[in-house]
Amino acid sequence: MVKDHEQKLAELKSKIKSYPDFPKKGILFWDIFSAIADGATCKLLQTLLLETIQVKYKDVEAIVGLESRGFLFSFSLAAALGVSSIPVRKKGKLPGEVVSYKYDLEYGSDVLEIQKDTIRPGQKCLIVDDLIATGGSITAAVNLLKACQADVIGCLAVIELESLNGRKNIPDGISVHSLIKHD
């Protein structure tokens, strides 16, 4: 039987384990690695992400992955589509000339960086990550790409924690899509 999209999403959802109180008390940790340890689920996840890109983001020219779990998807999707794979990393990890963006965390701040010569003004970029929680990381990546004059066509995550309303800070007009929603 050919599985339809909703069945595939339900199957993927059932494969992602959660761990209470990791990495600290009160956090329910959704572990993408538990799903991709299984080869059939790797393939299912790749198929679901590609189907989404073909429907919603078919003009994409670069897949931008957020350190580190976003890299699981940015290379494989870019390779399948034959488009650029570009990493956004935490400060001090990328060689050459970088563009930096400082953003606030609950306590303190952090800096994301991208290599200047990997991105060109107007390039149609899709940001990918495993999970949107507070939305802080993905919002900072949108702002970093905007500072590079890239055309951010959307953000795509495997999981979104809806109760944290991480979408609220993502600039207006940026499409956000997640495969699986949890509270």
Ligand X SMILES: O=P(O)(O)OC[C@H]1O[C@H](OP(=O)(O)OP(=O)(O)O)[C@H](O)[C@@H]1O
User: Which of 11, 61, 67, 69 is labelled catalytic?
Assistant: 69
Q: Which two tokens stand for residue 15?
A: 């494969």
Peptide bond into 23 cis (omega under 30): yes
Pick from ligand X, ligand ADE, none: which does 135 bind, CB < 5 to 8 A by kind? ligand X
The CA distance from 123 to 101, in Å, is 19
Q: Which two tokens stand for residue 95?
A: 């060689």
Q: Does residue number 66 form part of the binding site for ligand ADE (CB under 6 A)?
A: no
By CB under 6 A, how many residues form the interface with ligand ADE? Answer: 6
User: Which of 106, 120, 160, 162 is labelled catalytic?
Assistant: 106
Q: Does residue number 160 form part of the binding site for ligand X (CB under 6 A)?
A: no
By DSSP bridging, strand 176-182 and strand 151-161 are parallel
| 106 a catalytic residue | yes
| 67 a catalytic residue | no
Exactly one of 94, 129, 178, 179 binds ligand X (CB under 6 A); that residue is 129
Using CB under 6 A as the criterion, what x/- string covers residues 66-95 for binding ligand X? xxxx--------------------------
Of 104, 106, 105, 69, the C-alpha closest to 88 is 69
**Measured over all CA atoms, what is the biggest interatomic distance in the chain, rounded to whole angstroms?**
52
Interface contacts to ligand X, rule CB under 6 A:
66-69, 129-137, 166
Please list the active-site residues.
69, 106
